[in-house]
């Protein structure tokens, strides 16, 4: 028997309304927030303890909405940000890639509850990118990862179709890392086409796929983060 749909989390709903989000979308987003906060006690999905605190992350995800083309893959999805908010806002079909099975089970249930077209896949990106059903088939790839920008590029670009875009949300970015991700994009068959500055140090890097990614990439599990492409070894450690 399926669980009832929770009520929209009230503080999150108020935050979305204050941000000017359409009422129907704000309600669905606030239901998603309620799902996350309820599951957080069991699955440690977020450090946010209130609806208002988690709404900040959802609003941050929505800064990408105008660049999303379906289908969307969210790599290392965790609690579903940014994949679920973007799917709700754009109607894109979404694949949520999350290697921890309990979290993937939560994400699959959240998709069903919210009526989103898509699926949760319990695999690491390095393994999933070898699956012909996933490699080279997406219009957009996102990853809210703490790894270096070149590492995130290596874990997202292989999933893109030609012309697809990887949207990398970053904080401060020193010249060394920026040059490295630009070079890494070329190695992976993509190009760093834009860098959109947001408030403070936040920014969005857009990598556009130009040619198929070579079969060497992504490298084996853990290697992209340990030895980021095009970064001097000392800088990547």
**Whole-number Å distance between alpha carbons of 166 and 74:** 10
Selection from 230, 22, 23, 15 nearest residue 33 by Cα: 15
Phi, psi of 195 (to 5 degrees): -135, 110
Q: Quick one: pLDDT at residue 88?
A: 98
SS3 206: strand
- How many other C-beta atoms are found inside a 10 Å radius of the C-beta of residue 76? 21
Q: Quick one: pLDDT at residue 45?
A: 97
Q: Reply yes or no on domain 64-236 having CATH 3.40.50.150.
A: yes
User: What is the mean pLDDT, run by run of 10 residues, along the chain of 237 residues?
Assistant: 81 98 98 98 95 98 97 97 98 98 98 98 97 98 90 98 97 93 98 93 96 98 96 63
Q: Quick one: pLDDT at residue 237?
A: 44
> In the chain, what are the domain boundaries?
64-236
Q: Quick one: pLDDT at residue 3?
A: 67
Residue 103 vs residues 44, 72, 109: alpha-carbon distances, Å: 9, 19, 10
CA dihedral 230, 231, 234, 235 (to 10 degrees): -170
Burial of 222 (0-12, 13-18, 19+ CB in 10 A): exposed
**What predicted TM-score, i.e. pTM, was given to this entire model?**
0.95
Q: Quick one: pLDDT at residue 236?
A: 45
């Amino acid at each position: 028997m399926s669980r009832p749909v929770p009520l929209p989390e009230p503080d999150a709903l108020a935050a979305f309304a204050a941000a000017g989000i359409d009422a129907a979308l704000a309600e669905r987003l606030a239901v998603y927030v309620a799902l996350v906060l309820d599951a957080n006690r069991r699955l440690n999905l977020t450090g946010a303890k209130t609806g208002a605190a988690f709404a900040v992350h959802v609003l941050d995800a929505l800064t990408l909405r105008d660049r999303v083309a379906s289908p969307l893959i969210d790599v290392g999805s965790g609690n579903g940000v940014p994949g679920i908010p973007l799917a709700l806002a754009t109607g894109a079909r979404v694949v949520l890639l999350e290697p921890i099975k309990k979290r993937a089970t939560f994400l699959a249930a959240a998709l069903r509850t919210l009526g989103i077209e898509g699926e949760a896949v319990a695999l690491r990106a390095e393994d999933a990118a070898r699956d012909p059903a996933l490699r080279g088939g997406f219009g957009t790839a996102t990853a809210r990862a703490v790894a270096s920008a070149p590492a995130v590029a290596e874990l997202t670009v292989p999933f893109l179709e030609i012309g697809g875009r990887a949207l990398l949300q970053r904080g401060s970015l020193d010249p060394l890392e920026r040059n490295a991700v630009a070079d890494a994009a070329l190695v992976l068959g993509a190009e760093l086409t834009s860098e959109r500055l947001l408030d403070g140090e936040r920014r969005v890097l857009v990598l556009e796929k130009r040619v198929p990614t070579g079969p060497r990439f992504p490298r084996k599990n853990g290697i992209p983060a340990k030895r980021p492409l095009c970064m001097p070894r000392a800088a990547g450690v």
